Structure 1
Amino acid sequence: MDQLYVYMLAALAVLAIADLIVGVSNDAVNFLNSAIGSKAVSFKTIMIVASIGVAVGALTSSGMMEVARKGIFNPGEFMFNEIMIIFMAVMLTDILLLDFFNTLGLPTSTTVSIVFELLGASVAIAIIKIYADANQSLLDLSNYINNSKAIEIILGILLSVVVAFTIGAIVQYVSRLLLSFNFQSKPIWYSAIFSGFANTSILYFIVIKGLKNATFMGGEFLDFINNKPEAFIGISFLVLSVLSYIAIVAFKARIYTIIIIIGTFALAVAFAGNDLVNFIGVPIAAYNSYEAWTASGIVPEEYAMVALSEPVATQPILLLIAGLVMVLTLWFSTKARAVVKTSVDLSRQDEGKERFEPNFLSRNIVRLTIGLNDSISQYLPNGYKAQVEKQFAKAKKDPTIKAQDQPAFDLVRASVNLMVASVLISIATSLKLPLSTTYVTFMVAMGTSLADRAWGTESAVYRVAGVLNVIGGWFFTALSAFAAAFVMAYILFYGKGYALVLLFVTAIVLLVRNYLIHRNNNKALEEEDKLEKAESSSTQGVIHESAKNIATVVKRGNKIYTSAINGLATQNLAILKKNKQNIERLSQEIEVLKDNVFYFIKNLEDPSVEASNFYLSIVRYLQDIAQSLEYVSKSSLKHINNNHKKLTFSQIKELKDVDTHLEQLFKDTQKAFENRSFAQIGAIIDERNNLNNLVQEKIQRQVERTRSEESSPKNTTLYFSILLETKDLVNATMKLLEEYFAAHDSTVEPAQITGNQPNK
């Protein structure tokens, strides 16, 4: 029996490392979103600063997480064997739950997940103990569980969501009124005072939240901060404001960038110093329990875990190892970047491709908010409204920076995000209130983006829907963490060693499987040629920019059509499902090009009618191509997925014949556009009749077969549908080629036909 607990400790050690990895992937959004979104410095610099912060935070960690030892349950009521089951159930649930959210790219709270997992597992074991004792009832559950702590945490969640969003919106609104979007042109003392406020907030945050328990912090200094916080804040503000003014005047310092770097470091320190225990607190508590039990000499079923009521400091070597794992994860986790991307996308200043679809609730919230705003606006003085509009007038974008390289928001908003998050977390920490850093940083970012008018009428329903999805995910985290840990504890209690092996292996398999799927998907996306928005301001520039997109669509379309026919011929459901995903991605990218029409036309030189008409026509034909490919792909998938009768040998042979000719057409087209050999387009267009005649011949053969030998209506319908849609695909491709040939013929000089691209 003793060996079982040794195996459990070994499993918990492995799970701790895995939990560190998935935990950092989730919580990286807490300290990376502002720096990455503003593009204040290079991504490499951001990662170096964050890595140093994580390392410092890990080494100055506040030690054992008390909530893992006695915060949720009363340890003296549980025996050693029961405590080990609780801890095992918690860790298994935690890594699977966090990995699930990371795979979806959604930020969630590691604190909330660990708390509700502890609650779920301890409730399960408590109920088992209660039903085994005839003298107890469910009313005695309160003897085992710390109900007040659970209620406090739930209220903390609700409070943090509302307060962080509201304060973030108010501070950003005031900051924008004072600094405007053209903040760089404001007097230097504006920036110095703003820097004083921001850096004082962040400094206080570092001391109170990040380093308050560090051994190198002097006791007198901490006593001064705790006893006279107002004096510390006032002195810090004056000193930092003066230093900022001197730095700007004497050294031409980019003060907003400095604020963002310091803020990123501060949040990274706090994350590692405080949230680290979310990942290693439970395994260390289990190890301490094992040490106490082995020293007692009592059988595990009779040893009450009173020892967990006493705090035990974490060993420095464990903190060092944990910090190293966190830093490596930060650099190499693609899931961490996916989670950060969700936060940045929801708070970006400009419209673009929205990830979330609007829902009933988001539409009505936006509708009510617009109505409320209109009602309030009626009572505001016209002079005030004019001044507000002036301050909120957006700065012009740098035309030399490509659209994909533009920052999601400016340096002022990034600074406010870090400043407000630091203040709120510092206040909550000093008042000993449970507050999730994930919830605070995310909701502050959402509040500042709302105040900054990033949620305009064009994007509000999508952004609100996204926020509602994330918030819903937080509460889903709590409920699913409780339920899953409850079930895990039950299984481990009754299944013992067999259940431990089965659940542990299952967890590892699922983690590896999710990792491989995520890696393969990312690899496929990286290898796949992406469509790019047109940024030229002349017709000739648009012709050459669009040529790359056409070559890309034709290349990917060729692969999609061939995969659909091959999947249909071999009845390979996996190929057809993957093909459906590929065409959906292509359709979404073309939709983004369509959504970019407004910005494209605004950027054109005068006169712009010719270039805009050309661009609109090209996008329309690309959409037609994608729609035909989508129909072929989805109808093939539906046929196989519904287990309908396989196509006949003759039908498959004829479809492959069409695919071969279409493949040659697409390859010739791709080559012409990749090499900018537009003169070759005419020869490709001449092939239209041959291809259409081929398709018509196949249709006629199927008509004859249907009258004489065909017995499956589903096969006949599918076959006709694919051939008719293929004709539409060919026609859309030819219309695109004709449009291009005419535009090239009338605007491009002979020297450019050979492949020399004009200057934009």
Structure 2
Amino acid sequence: MENIYILMLIALVALAAIDLVVGVSNDAVNFLNSAIGSKVVSMRTIMIVASLGIGVGAIFSSGMMEVARKGIFNPGEFYFNEIMIIFMAVMITDVLLLDFFNTLGMPTSTTVSIVFELLGAAVAMALIKIAVSDTETVANLSQYINTEKAVLIISGIFLSVIVAFSIGAIVQYLSRLFLTFNFEQKPTIYGALFSGIALTSITYFIFMKGLKGTAYYKDIKGVLEGNELMIIVIAFFTWTALSFILTKFLKFNLYKIIITVGTFALALAFAGNDLVNFIGVPMAAWNSYEAWSVSGVPADEFSMGVLAGKVPTPQIFLFVAGMIMVVTLWFSSKAKKVAATEVNLARQSEGHERFQPNSLSRVVVRSTIGMINGINYVLPKSMQQSIGKRFEKPVVNLPKNKVYELPAFDAIRASTNLMVAGVLISIATSYKLPLSTTYVTFMVAMGTSLADRAWDRESAVYRVAGVLNVIGGWFFTAFIAFVTAGIFTYLIHLGSITAVSLLLLLVLFLLVRNFIKHKKEEKETAQKRVIKRAELITAKEVIDETSDHISEVITRVDKLYTNVVNNLSVQDLSKLKKIDKHVVKLNAEVDTLKDEAFYFIKSLDDSSVEASRFYLMVLGYLQDISQSISYISKASYKHVNNNHKHLKKGQIKDLKIIDNQLSGMLKEIAVIFHNRKFSDISKIVDEKQELFDHVSKSIEKQITRIRSEESSAKNTTLYFGNLLETKDLISAIMNLLELYQEFHFNMKKANIKI
């Protein structure tokens, strides 16, 4: 029997190592995004500082391990065999859940996942015990669950959303009023005061609050306790004076110091607060095994009340865990995928929005606008104008080809993000509350974005939708963690070691599958040319960029049209569905180009303004082309999905002939634009009539079939629709070629080098 629990311990240790990797991959963005987004510090420096913060935080995290042992349930109510089932179910669920979110590239909360997994597994085991008891009912569930502590932890986690957002917004608003966007031109004392406040806050909560609950606090307790106010005052004047000297005489960038120290602080707070999420459960299992193995009592009779006491965590375990986290931080590619969400929602600049608006985001934005209008109605005009000037953004004069190198937000916002988030997490850690670092850092970043007016009338509805989607994902995490851990607990209870083995095989299979899928996506992303608007300046660059767009769209339309015809002929529903997804993506990319036409026109130099009309018309024809292939794809998928009759052999034959001719023409067009051989366009334009004639003959044949033989009305609708849309597709392509030919001729006639 003992061998079973040794094997379970080995499995838990392996799961802990995996959990550290998948957990850090998701949570790394929490302490890296502010430094990365501001671009004040080099990436190498950021990684080194964050690694040091994680290492120190891991060593100081011992006190937080109590949460996994007794924070959610009452261990004395469970026997050793039951507690091992709970811990095994929790770790299997956690690894699968975090890896799932990493694969999606969405940030989630490791704290919320572990808390609700412990709660779900404990509730399931408690219900199992109640079910076999003759005296207990569901009303006795409260004696198994540490209700008071669980409610405190859960309410603290969700309260952090409101607190982090509100404090982030308030601090950023006051900081911006004080320093404005032209903070670099302000007197030196302004920056020194801001630096003094920021660095004092960070150092106080790290080195005083953050040390509480660790084995090291007792050595300095006498010095710190009772002298807090004096230490704060001394630290403030010291940091302010040092900041003033560094700026005034050494011309040093203070914000590099703040962001560097802030990144260290947040990494330290992350490790100190979140390490329990990854190794707290295995450590509790190890403590449980140690206590049981020397007791001589059977596993199903040994009460786990021993876990209610304080048990120190060996430093070697904390050190190894910290090293795994650091290595993961440097080499995880999934962390980059998760990072894009927060930076995209927090960026100061305009551009393509990742999330689409929904009804709730529209209501929120509309209500907020109404509230702001009400406040402005009360405030004097002079005060409104004064405040407005504090938020005026400076005009950055950079070469147009450097526009995408601008940071997502400035150093003031990055400093506020790090300062506020670090302080909040450190406070929670000092009180042994597993505050969600994801919730705090994300909501602080959203609050500072709102206060900084990054969400204006052009972008607010998209940004709010993004925030709501992410928060919705957090609630999904809590629900899935609770339910899945409960189910796994029940399965392990029924199947014992067999169930554990099968679940571990499931973990291995899904991890390997997701890893292969992720690597495949990375490879495809590296090879695939996504249609994106570059920053254009001259007519030649307009020609080059639109040629690339056309070549890419035509190549993809060629492949999509052929695949639709081939899979429609054999009624392959799954492939038609996959084709439709590719068509939707193509339409989205073309729509993005049209949405960014405003920025394109602004990017042209004075001598190339005439090219704006040409560019807009090219985008219009590309949209017509993508919409035509979209109609053909959707109609074909709908027909097969509704289980309508197959197309007639004659219909399929005609479609394949059209496809062969169209494919040949599209390949020629793609080559022309890829190689910039615009003189060959006239040849394609001359040959279009043959293809038009064949489509027209196919339509006439179908009319004859309807009149002379029995035919399906649904088949006729699909066939006519696809043929007519094919004609529209060809027309849009020809119009595009003729437009390009005319523009190319006019540029040469005007002696403009292209």
TM-score (norm 1): 0.93
Deviation at 1:525, TM superposition (A): 2.9
Give 1:129-168 correspondences, 5 Å limit: 129-168=129-168
Which letter maps to 2:501? V
Deviation at 1:751, TM superposition (A): 8.5
Task: Give the distance between the partners of 1:585 and 1:321, measured in 2 at CA.
Answer: 44
607-616 or 688-697, which moves further after superposition?
607-616
CA contact (8 A) 2:103 2:334 kept: yes
Cα 1:11–1:427 change in 2 (3 A) is closer
Task: Give the distance between the partners of 1:178 and 1:669, measured in 2 at CA.
Answer: 58
Partner SS, residue 91 of structure 2: helix
Deviation at 1:25, TM superposition (A): 2.1
CA contact (8 A) 2:346 2:408 kept: yes
Task: Give the distance between the partners of 1:471 and 1:450, measured in 2 at CA.
Answer: 16
Q: Say whether residues 1:313 and 2:312 are aligned partners.
A: yes
Task: Give the distance between the partners of 1:687 and 1:210, measured in 2 at CA.
Answer: 76
646-655 or 351-360, which moves further after superposition?
646-655
Task: Give the distance between the partners of 1:562 and 1:404, measured in 2 at CA.
Answer: 37
Partner of 2:301: 302
CA contact (8 A) 1:64 1:312 kept: no
Partner of 2:477: 477
CA contact (8 A) 1:62 1:274 kept: no
Task: Give the distance between the partners of 1:292 and 1:572, measured in 2 at CA.
Answer: 60
Partner of 2:638: 638
Cα 1:265–1:653 change in 2 (3 A) is farther
Give 1:235-384 correspondences, 5 Å limit: 235-384=234-383
297-306 or 134-143, which moves further after superposition?
134-143
CA contact (8 A) 1:152 1:434 kept: no
Partner of 1:598: 598
Partner of 2:73: 73
Partner SS, residue 62 of structure 2: coil
428-437 or 463-472, which moves further after superposition?
428-437
626-635 or 41-50, which moves further after superposition?
41-50
Q: Say whether residues 1:461 and 2:461 are aligned partners.
A: yes
222-231 or 69-78, which moves further after superposition?
222-231
132-141 or 119-128, which moves further after superposition?
132-141
Give 1:202-601 correspondences, 5 Å limit: 202-208=202-208, 221-397=220-396, 398-601=398-601
CA contact (8 A) 2:201 2:419 kept: yes
Task: Give the distance between the partners of 1:269 and 1:17, measured in 2 at CA.
Answer: 19
CA contact (8 A) 1:169 1:448 kept: yes
Cα 1:648–1:55 change in 2 (3 A) is farther
Partner of 1:188: 188
Partner of 2:738: 738
Cα 1:134–1:452 change in 2 (3 A) is same
Partner SS, residue 379 of structure 2: coil
Task: Give the distance between the partners of 2:5 and 2:702, measured in 1 at CA.
Answer: 70
Identity across matched positions, percent = 57
Deviation at 1:51, TM superposition (A): 3.1
Which letter maps to 1:742? E
CA contact (8 A) 1:74 1:145 kept: yes
Which letter maps to 1:336? A
Task: Give the distance between the partners of 1:35 and 1:514, measured in 2 at CA.
Answer: 29
141-150 or 571-580, which moves further after superposition?
571-580
293-302 or 576-585, which moves further after superposition?
576-585
CA contact (8 A) 1:208 1:429 kept: no
Task: Give the distance between the partners of 2:16 and 2:413, measured in 1 at CA.
Answer: 36
Q: Say whether residues 1:618 and 2:612 are aligned partners.
A: no
Could you report, residue by residue, the CA deviation over 1:620-639 in whole angstroms, capped at 9, with x for unpaired residues? 11111111122222223333
Q: Say whether residues 1:2 and 2:22 are aligned partners.
A: no
Cα 1:58–1:649 change in 2 (3 A) is farther
Structure 1, gaps ≥5 residues long: none
Cα 1:44–1:686 change in 2 (3 A) is farther
Task: Give the distance between the partners of 2:433 and 2:491, measured in 1 at CA.
Answer: 34
Task: Give the distance between the partners of 2:217 and 2:77, measured in 1 at CA.
Answer: 39
Partner of 1:175: 175
Deviation at 1:300, TM superposition (A): 0.8
Which letter maps to 1:697? K
Deviation at 1:164, TM superposition (A): 1.1
Cα 1:400–1:599 change in 2 (3 A) is closer
Which letter maps to 2:679? A
Task: Give the distance between the partners of 1:60 and 1:416, measured in 2 at CA.
Answer: 25
Which letter maps to 2:103? T
Could you report, residue by residue, the CA deviation over 1:392-439 in whole angstroms, capped at 9, with x for unpaired residues? 112224334544433221121111111111222233344555522211
Task: Give the distance between the partners of 1:59 and 1:651, measured in 2 at CA.
Answer: 72
Task: Give the distance between the partners of 2:648 and 2:21, measured in 1 at CA.
Answer: 51
Cα 1:373–1:692 change in 2 (3 A) is same
Deviation at 1:736, TM superposition (A): 1.5
Partner SS, residue 108 of structure 1: coil
Task: Give the distance between the partners of 1:452 and 1:226, measured in 2 at CA.
Answer: 37
Task: Give the distance between the partners of 1:556 and 1:333, measured in 2 at CA.
Answer: 32
Could you report, residue by residue, the CA deviation over 1:321-368 in whole angstroms, capped at 9, with x for unpaired residues? 323332333334343222221111111112322232322222112111
CA contact (8 A) 1:601 1:608 kept: no
Give 1:687-706 correspondences, 5 Å limit: 687-706=687-706
Which letter maps to 1:620? G
CA contact (8 A) 1:534 1:542 kept: no
CA RMSD of aligned residues (A): 2.5
Cα 1:374–1:750 change in 2 (3 A) is closer
Cα 1:198–1:297 change in 2 (3 A) is same
Partner of 2:91: 91
Cα 1:558–1:80 change in 2 (3 A) is same
CA contact (8 A) 2:269 2:429 kept: no
479-488 or 511-520, which moves further after superposition?
511-520
Which letter maps to 2:330? W
744-753 or 395-404, which moves further after superposition?
744-753
169-178 or 125-134, which moves further after superposition?
125-134
Cα 1:423–1:318 change in 2 (3 A) is closer
Task: Give the distance between the partners of 1:198 and 1:570, measured in 2 at CA.
Answer: 66
160-169 or 672-681, which moves further after superposition?
672-681
Deviation at 1:592, TM superposition (A): 1.6
614-623 or 346-355, which moves further after superposition?
346-355
Task: Give the distance between the partners of 2:668 and 2:44, measured in 1 at CA.
Answer: 41
Cα 1:490–1:606 change in 2 (3 A) is same
Partner SS, residue 181 of structure 1: coil
Cα 1:297–1:370 change in 2 (3 A) is same
Task: Give the distance between the partners of 2:403 and 2:562, measured in 1 at CA.
Answer: 33
Cα 1:697–1:453 change in 2 (3 A) is same
Deviation at 1:224, TM superposition (A): 3.1
Partner of 1:62: 62
Partner of 1:13: 13
Deviation at 1:571, TM superposition (A): 3.9
Partner of 1:47: 47
CA contact (8 A) 2:255 2:415 kept: yes
Partner of 1:720: 720
Which letter maps to 2:592? V
Task: Give the distance between the partners of 1:521 and 1:498, measured in 2 at CA.
Answer: 34
Task: Give the distance between the partners of 1:457 and 1:55, measured in 2 at CA.
Answer: 43
Task: Give the distance between the partners of 1:206 and 1:251, measured in 2 at CA.
Answer: 28
CA contact (8 A) 1:210 1:269 kept: no
Which letter maps to 1:345? N
Q: Aligned pairs, how many? A: 753
Task: Give the distance between the partners of 1:652 and 1:524, measured in 2 at CA.
Answer: 33
Partner of 1:681: 681
Cα 1:532–1:473 change in 2 (3 A) is closer
Partner SS, residue 686 of structure 1: helix
Structure 2, gaps ≥5 residues long: none
